[in-house]
Structure 1
Amino acid sequence: MGQGADFTPERRRRALLFADIAGYSRSMQRDELGTWQRVQQALALVRMLVGDYGGRLVDTAGDGVFAVFDRAPAALRFALAVQREFRDQAVWSVAGERLAFRIGIHEGEVLVAGPQVAGHHVNVAARIEVLAPPGGICVTEPVRRAVAGEPGLVFRSLGRARLRHIEEPLEVFLVMDEASGETVPAMPELPSQPVAIAELASVLVLPITPLSADPADRHVVDGLTGDLIGHLSRFRDLFVIARHSAFRLREATGDPVDIARQLGVRYVLSGSLRRSGPRIRLEVELDEAENGRALWRERYDGRLDDIFAFEDEVVTAIASRLAVHIGERERQRARLRQPHELAAYGLVLRGWELTLTWRRDETLHARRLFDRARELDPEYGRAFAGLSRTFNISWRYRFEPDPEGSLLRAVELAREAIARDPFDARGFAELGFAELYRKQHEAAIAAYEEASELNPNDADIMVEKADALTYAGEPQRAIALIERAMARNPFHPDWYLWVLADARFTLGDYKGTLEALARMRDPSQAHRMAAAAWALLGQMEKARLHAYAVKRVQPGFSLDHWRQVPPYRDPEPLERFVEGLRLAGLD
């Protein structure tokens, strides 16, 4: 039955978001078909992401989007995700320019009649959006108050703006997002004394420097640097500083040799990339840290449309200087199979970054990107490995209505990744991850052994394997492996510390557990274990504080569910963990 003319809409407080693409008309003049195609792809992704972040799409027109959210924090998380997506991905550039959204968010009471939303505050939100710079987000005071305390955000007042057809001026704020690059994160502190590292020939690959302002070049050099690290780490006689730590040194201004000395590595590779149209030129230099002597300099010319063959040439040349005793067969195995599409590669890089948040919205966002990469290159194994990870995380946190189906899908996708690229360690690592949480310990460890065989110096795989060893009943062996991984990745991500804490908890070392958790930069995933550890130490006040934080970070937390998550072979440490959570006040 339809709604009659006397139907009274409901009043609801909602967060209102408007977004459109800056410079759309100008880009249409330069490249009408290319602009239209790329904008349609961009809007399709944005429209799908609205639901993933808890919103509802109200209207779309041309290059614009109008969405509503129950709460302002969800609207802002969505806006930040969109801006990061289109800022980081050179795949979204068109007519020589990056696609950039302007976004405005306002909160207030609106009239809701079925799918329709109307009222004064809708008009305000629409006017706010035009004040945002390309790639920027503007919000009003109600939104700023609602998200107060969110980490990593700074609000810069633009003053009280007079909006068209709005009587009262409103104070508008520009959102400054540290994670997006609006502000530069602090450089990690290098050790004051050189770090002692194993006797193996050790190498640091510094992020390659793009020498042009084109945003696409940063995308290319990041992929090139990461692939150089990945290829080199497959040589067993090389000790390679891991990708995560290398990229933390992007803004380092010191001499590469000095940086290498402080990290205790023997060799350092630095380089720069120039681009002129489709032509690229990479210049690299290999230095010996002990005496500062340049061992090798080379220049490589290539084309952007053949970037992966170009990368293989560079890696082969470096390997001939650093690992001459490694034979041709080993070099062939070391070559990572690359996607045919640079766009697919960029989408996968961004998707892996999103999975590290362990949050529902970002996990589903990552799945969209991996799916798109799979469409662009159906034979790209890393896209299937990434999809497997998203289904595993969904099982762990019950992001979807069929958790067990999610875990089985994770196994299937990992096997599809291996089928497409049997020389990529990541596919085997994802299979190990999925089999572990199915409590198939032998199968999980066998998959991790295969991954380690393919890439013995991959620090992430070392820690993932250590996690499996802890749950299989070998926490001491796990700790030794984690310590090796941390030496290779000195600026390691938080989840290394979580795995270390888990191994110590399994051993009954609760103080050691808490020491590891206290070193995490983002404690949101540490609260469960911290609550249990403090409770088992008899420190109930501290335990309850962490239990409260668990409920805030995971509103649907269930002790019955988390009894099923840790895949311990021996039930004893699991029972201690559950008892600690219960004592802390979680149920």
Structure 2
Amino acid sequence: MAAKHRPARDLPTGTLTFLFTDIEGSTRLWETNHDAMRMALARHDEVLRKCIDTQRGHVFKTGGDAFCAAFDNAPAAVHAALAAQLALNAEAWPESTRILVRMALHSGAAELRQGDYFGPPLNYVSRLLAVGHGGQTLLSETTRELCRDPLPLGAAVQSLGEYGLKDLPRRQRIFQLVHPDLPQAFPPLKTLFAQADADKPSIAVLPFTNLSGDAEQEYFADGVVDDIITALSRVRAFFVIARNSSFTYKGKAVDIKQVGRELGVRYVLEGSIRRAGNRVRITGQLIAAETGAHIWADRFEGRLEDIFDLQDRIAESVVGAVEPSLRLAEIKRARSKPTLNLDAYDYFLRAWQKLSMDPRRQGIDEALDELRRAIALDPDYSAAKALYGWATQLRTSSRGQRIEAEVRDGVRMAREALAAHHDDPITLVTAAWAICWLDWAYDEAMDAVDRALKLAPDVAVVLNHAGWVRAFAGDPADAEDLLRRAIRLSPLDPQMAHLLNGLAIACLRRGKYEEALAASERASRERPTAQRALLLSLVALGRLPEAKALAQRMRESSLTTTISWFMSVPYKDDAFKARCVAAMRAAGIPE
């Protein structure tokens, strides 16, 4: 279809915000469902024109399913984009022609000539549109700055980091418009930086249904799935969504196609587990997310003491079904069975569930009790000792007070885990974070993190702990990269506030205060008590009245909000720590 232009006399001039849109996969939709696509496109056009006109925007060019619109202010453009995405998402499209529209916004001065705009802003917004996905709305840094305060109700702007865009000389900061009524998890942006992950087979493992007839066995079913995820994550040819994101679907009736869209994966593995006495039966089925077609299904049975072998057989079957050319040796774990004592493994799974899903004080205390039982049954259980160290760190941090006997106990357990880690990356990185925080053992922690990353570069929990160790003791640029990768692998993580706080600290250390603010604001929304990085970001940006108001709320909600407590936090970078202390004093945090 030839491009259509609007008369030049109706178009605005000066500094404008441009909104470009197109339909993802439109060529395929036209080829497979021509008549339905014709009707869907008419509705798509109607929705876009209405939303743009309502905000006094100007559609100056269309071509095929693409729209190009100009607005004389950024907030109006953002309102129009959000309204259009909400309307398109709510539309009852036929399943065969579901319309997913990607959008991009950028602001700048352009030349108006014969009913069309020319200049760098048009090139930029075109490049930005090209890296997005259907249903996603991307903003340039310029547009984000122009619409920071008057965002639509419920909307927020999330920093995706810096990316290289085609033909642009330097990496660009890219932001995503998010809203609770819209999908928020997308595959990595289609830039050179993300291409390696985009080319990998991507998979999400959903929680397996517990058919044991005993709700108390949920932790066992979850633990088995967790080990399958870890096994698949260690296949470097795979991109595997982390447990904490896939487990947001636990207990829900799910649409596999919707799961695929929300998590940005090609494949979904689901199944069930039945445990009766000393016998275990596990069923699994692998489904193509886009079509819903079943690729593979099988049943695995054995004795309880064979559980680790059963998990490996499932992982091998999934790899073979998705990527037959992969050598099966790739998914063999580098460690032996974590323990020969199944009761110890049982206690470990209970503790892991409490710490990873809801690490509040009571849950931490219960997890420590479970881990003491596990270690008493198997004194050589390194994974349990590493987890004990982490639980001690969480307990000390949440209490806001170091009890030296407890700290020594946690450090001892973590060091014993490192002494016999069996090349298990999660044991390595969990123990590393414990000794970094509890014992300020920076060099030992960094060495353990480096080894864990070589063993498992794409496991979210490894990236999470490694990012925090680097944020406290290493290169903040490395920390930022690790935590952004963890967020990509686990976009719906219930512990997202923890990931975002680590990201904010890394950005603060790098002097990237706007990005630190974006991460810390989102962390605060995820967990209202996660506010220290937000306070530091506000002070760094010169927004002292807001920082003082936040400091007052922090003092009212927690007695541990003091500078003396912050001084016990183990930052290796003394200059950064001094800047933080000065910022806290400026905001009114007491000594």
TM-score range, shorter chain: 0.5 to 0.7
In the alignment, structure 1 residue 583 sits paired with structure 2 residue 586: yes
Structure 1 pair 566–399 and aligned structure 2 pair: CA distance change class (3 A): closer
Q: For 2:481 and 2:250, how far apart are their aligned partners in 1?
A: 29
Q: For 1:524 and 1:566, how far apart are their aligned partners in 2?
A: 23
> Match of 1:455, as an amino acid?
A
Give CA deviations for 1:125-165 in whole Å, capped at 9, x if unaligned.
xxxxxxxxxxxxxxxxxxxxxxxxxxxxxxxxxxxxxxxxx
Q: How far off is 1:459 after superposition?
A: 0.9
Q: Write out aligned runs for 1:225-240 (5 A).
A: 225-240=225-240
Q: How far off is 1:242 after superposition?
A: 0.3
Q: For 1:280 and 1:397, how far apart are their aligned partners in 2?
A: 38
In the alignment, structure 1 residue 542 sits paired with structure 2 residue 546: yes
Corresponding residue for residue 373 of structure 1: 374
Q: For 1:583 and 1:340, how far apart are their aligned partners in 2?
A: 55
Counterpart secondary structure, 2:332: helix
> Match of 2:549, as an amino acid?
L
Q: How far off is 1:372 after superposition?
A: 1.4
Q: How far off is 1:495 after superposition?
A: 0.4
Q: For 2:553 and 2:389, how far apart are their aligned partners in 1?
A: 29
Structure 1 pair 454–548 and aligned structure 2 pair: CA distance change class (3 A): same
Corresponding residue for residue 195 of structure 1: 187
Q: Write out aligned runs for 1:93-492 (5 A).
A: 191=183, 195-196=187-188, 198-211=198-211, 213-274=213-274, 278-304=278-304, 306-322=306-322, 324=324, 326-327=326-327, 329-334=329-334, 337-355=337-355, 360-396=361-397, 402-403=403-404, 406-437=406-437, 438-472=439-473, 474-492=475-493
In the alignment, structure 1 residue 495 sits paired with structure 2 residue 498: yes
Q: For 2:578 and 2:400, how far apart are their aligned partners in 1?
A: 25
Give CA deviations for 1:32-57 in whole Å, capped at 9, x if unaligned.
xxxxxxxxxxxxxxxxxxxxxxxxxx
> Match of 1:499, as an amino acid?
G
Q: For 1:324 and 1:415, how far apart are their aligned partners in 2?
A: 40
Q: 1:551 aligns with which of 542, 549, 555?
A: 555
Instruction: Give % identity.
Output: 31
User: Is the 1:337–1:424 contact (alpha carbons within 8 Å) kept by the matching residues of 2?
Assistant: no
> Match of 1:200, as an amino acid?
K
Q: For 1:192 and 1:583, how far apart are their aligned partners in 2?
A: 36
Q: 1:526 aligns with which of 530, 533, 540?
A: 530
Instruction: Could you tell me which runs of 5 or more consecutive residues in structure 1 were left unpaired when the two chains were aligned.
Output: 1-187
Q: How far off is 1:291 after superposition?
A: 4.0
Structure 1 pair 328–211 and aligned structure 2 pair: CA distance change class (3 A): closer
Q: For 1:545 and 1:346, how far apart are their aligned partners in 2?
A: 47
Q: How far off is 1:418 after superposition?
A: 3.6
Structure 1 pair 214–193 and aligned structure 2 pair: CA distance change class (3 A): closer
Structure 1 pair 554–366 and aligned structure 2 pair: CA distance change class (3 A): farther
Corresponding residue for residue 124 of structure 1: none
User: Is the 2:538–2:544 contact (alpha carbons within 8 Å) kept by the matching residues of 1?
Assistant: yes
Give CA deviations for 1:72-105 in whole Å, capped at 9, x if unaligned.
xxxxxxxxxxxxxxxxxxxxxxxxxxxxxxxxxx
Q: How many residues align?
A: 398
Q: For 1:472 and 1:335, how far apart are their aligned partners in 2?
A: 27
Q: How far off is 1:523 after superposition?
A: 3.3
Q: For 1:189 and 1:294, how far apart are their aligned partners in 2?
A: 29
Corresponding residue for residue 507 of structure 1: 510
Give CA deviations for 1:159-213 in whole Å, capped at 9, x if unaligned.
xxxxxxxxxxxxxxxxxxxxxxxxxxxxx97727963562112111111112453
Q: How far off is 1:554 after superposition?
A: 3.5
TM-score (normalised: structure 1):
0.61
Structure 1 pair 558–194 and aligned structure 2 pair: CA distance change class (3 A): closer
> Match of 1:575, as an amino acid?
A
User: Is the 1:206–1:268 contact (alpha carbons within 8 Å) kept by the matching residues of 2?
Assistant: yes
Counterpart secondary structure, 1:379: coil
User: Is the 1:360–1:399 contact (alpha carbons within 8 Å) kept by the matching residues of 2?
Assistant: no
Counterpart secondary structure, 1:253: coil
Q: For 2:397 and 2:273, how far apart are their aligned partners in 1?
A: 42
User: Is the 2:206–2:247 contact (alpha carbons within 8 Å) kept by the matching residues of 1?
Assistant: yes
Q: How far off is 1:239 after superposition?
A: 0.8
Q: CA RMSD in A?
A: 3.0
User: Is the 1:257–1:287 contact (alpha carbons within 8 Å) kept by the matching residues of 2?
Assistant: no
User: Is the 2:202–2:239 contact (alpha carbons within 8 Å) kept by the matching residues of 1?
Assistant: yes
TM-score (normalised: structure 2):
0.60
User: Is the 2:242–2:459 contact (alpha carbons within 8 Å) kept by the matching residues of 1?
Assistant: yes
Higher alpha-carbon deviation: 254-263 or 240-249: 254-263
Corresponding residue for residue 568 of structure 1: 572
User: Is the 2:207–2:250 contact (alpha carbons within 8 Å) kept by the matching residues of 1?
Assistant: yes
Q: For 1:510 and 1:408, how far apart are their aligned partners in 2?
A: 36
Q: How far off is 1:250 after superposition?
A: 1.6
Instruction: Could you tell me which runs of 5 or more consecutive residues in structure 2 were left unpaired when the two chains were aligned.
Output: 1-179, 189-196
Corresponding residue for residue 520 of structure 2: 517
Counterpart secondary structure, 1:515: helix
